[in-house]
């Protein structure tokens, strides 16, 4: 095993789909399903489990299906919006017989306030219901996003495309913002702290697993951070840190051929026995049992 000095190892990469490889302009939109104006779902059904460096927005117009995101199976229903954020592990969209729009957008074209809003999906993968009026509006905007690239050589193509994309992002943002108000948790200050915490954990969880570290990075006390995270997510700081560790462990166990000991070391655990006990106490099975049960 080839080890690095920062307590990580050279590991096989989890497959990463890069937006530059299929949408150099940083945005792409397609209508999938039945009808002469749509692309078959089969076009994306052969994708293996992977991560993305971009956002994926799925707006299902009619029908149903399933989507697996970070070991959660999401039931797809008509008139609903779904978001996959960069870094989340997911398979293909199983929605044959359905009709829906798939939009991919580079993070660099999404304002930080919207990235923060969309980050709630990292805490709780969920569907966002759309009213019939909202669905009609989305359809109009998405039709332009799909049709406009056909005139890519026309003047002001990029400016028009990005204006429409910005409108789409604003529509998505409004749906999520209204859901926050409905949930009774619109506190933007606390949501900002929770978002920054999640971003910091994603960057440092291999080396830093203490609540004190993240509280210091956010310039708050550990007690206040715990209060904020309990308010937003219903879980304490320590649990959310361990959940990030467990999530990455599951990803590596399923997608790579690393041994369980190599996975432990890659996540910052020198003591494999401790990692094994921790994993089992949280999941009810050992790392190897988890791999075997999910690779069947």
The reply to whether 264 falls in a domain is yes
192 in the same domain as 123:
no
150 in the same domain as 255:
no
Query: What three-state secondary structure class fits 121?
Result: helix
Number of domains in the chain: 2
Strand order in the sheet with 27-32: 27-32, 99-105, 55-62, 80-84, 128-129
254 in the same domain as 150:
no
Residue with tokens 């913002």: 177
98 in the same domain as 127:
yes
pLDDT for 186: 57
The reply to whether 63 falls in a domain is yes
201 in the same domain as 77:
no
Domain termination site, one of 133, 165, 182 = 182
pLDDT for 123: 62
pLDDT for 36: 75
pLDDT per residue rounded down to tens, the chain (296 residues): 444 434 333 445 788 999 999 898 899 999 998 777 788 877 776 678 899 999 999 999 999 989 889 888 889 999 999 999 998 999 888 887 899 999 999 998 899 889 888 887 666 677 899 999 999 999 999 999 998 887 677 788 888 888 999 999 999 999 988 877 665 555 678 888 998 999 899 999 999 999 999 999 999 999 999 999 998 888 999 999 999 999 999 999 999 999 999 999 999 999 999 999 999 999 999 999 999 998 75
pLDDT for 8: 38
pLDDT for 165: 94
In 3D space, the residue among 8, 203, 14 whose CA is nearest the CA of residue 90 turns out to be 14
pLDDT for 225: 96
Find all residues with CB under 8 Å of 278, minimum gap 6, and list them: 242
The reply to whether 73 falls in a domain is yes
> How far is residue 264's CA from residue 261's CA, in Å, rounded to a whole number?
5
Domain termination site, one of 182, 217, 251 = 182
The reply to whether 94 falls in a domain is yes
19-54: buried (b, 16+ CB within 10 Å) or exposed (e) per residue?
Answer: beeebebbbbbbbbbeeeebeebeeeeeeeeebbeb
211 in the same domain as 246:
yes
129 in the same domain as 32:
yes
273 in the same domain as 127:
no
- The backbone torsions φ and ψ at residue 55, rounded to the nearest 5 degrees and listed phi first, read -85, 145
Q: Token pair for residue 55?
A: 């956002």
Name the pTM for this structure.
0.83
234 in the same domain as 138:
no
pLDDT for 141: 96
CATH number at residue 271: 1.10.10.60
The reply to whether 4 falls in a domain is no
Domain termination site, one of 163, 182, 201 = 182
pLDDT for 252: 94
The reply to whether 6 falls in a domain is no
The reply to whether 278 falls in a domain is yes
Print the domain residue range for 267.
Answer: 188-294
178 in the same domain as 204:
no
Within 10 angstroms of residue 265's Cβ, the number of other Cβ atoms is: 22
270 in the same domain as 224:
yes
The reply to whether 5 falls in a domain is no
């Amino acid at each position: 095993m080839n080890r690095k000095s920062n307590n990580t190892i050279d590991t096989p990469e989890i497959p990463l789909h890069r937006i530059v490889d299929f949408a150099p302009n940083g945005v792409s939109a397609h209508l999938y399903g039945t009808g002469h104006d749509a692309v078959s779902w089969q076009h994306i059904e052969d994708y293996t489990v992977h991560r993305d460096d971009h956002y994926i927005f799925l707006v299902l117009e009619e029908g149903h299906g399933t989507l697996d995101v970070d070991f959660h199976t999401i039931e797809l229903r008509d008139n609903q919006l779904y978001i996959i954020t960069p870094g989340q592990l997911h398979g293909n969209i199983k929605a044959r017989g359905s009709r829906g729009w798939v939009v991919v957008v580079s993070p660099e074209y999404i304002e930080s306030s919207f990235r923060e809003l969309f980050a709630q999906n990292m805490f709780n993968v969920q569907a966002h219901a759309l009213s019939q009026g909202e669905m009609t509006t989305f359809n109009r905007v998405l039709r332009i996003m799909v049709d406009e690239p056909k005139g890519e050589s026309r003047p002001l193509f990029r400016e028009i495309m990005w204006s429409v994309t910005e409108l789409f992002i604003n529509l998505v943002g409004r749906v999520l913002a209204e859901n926050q108000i409905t949930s009774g948790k619109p506190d933007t200050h606390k949501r900002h702290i929770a978002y920054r915490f999640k971003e910091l954990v994603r960057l440092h969880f291999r080396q830093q697993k203490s609540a004190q570290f993240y509280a210091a990075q956010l310039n708050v006390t550990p007690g206040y951070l715990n209060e904020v995270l309990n308010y937003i997510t219903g879980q304490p700081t320590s649990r959310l840190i361990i959940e990030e560790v467990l999530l990455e462990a599951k990803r590596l166990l399923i997608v790579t051929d690393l041994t369980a000991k190599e996975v432990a070391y890659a996540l910052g655990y020198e003591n494999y026995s401790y990692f094994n006990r921790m994993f089992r106490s949280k999941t009810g099975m050992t790392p190897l049992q988890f791999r075997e049960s999910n690779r069947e």
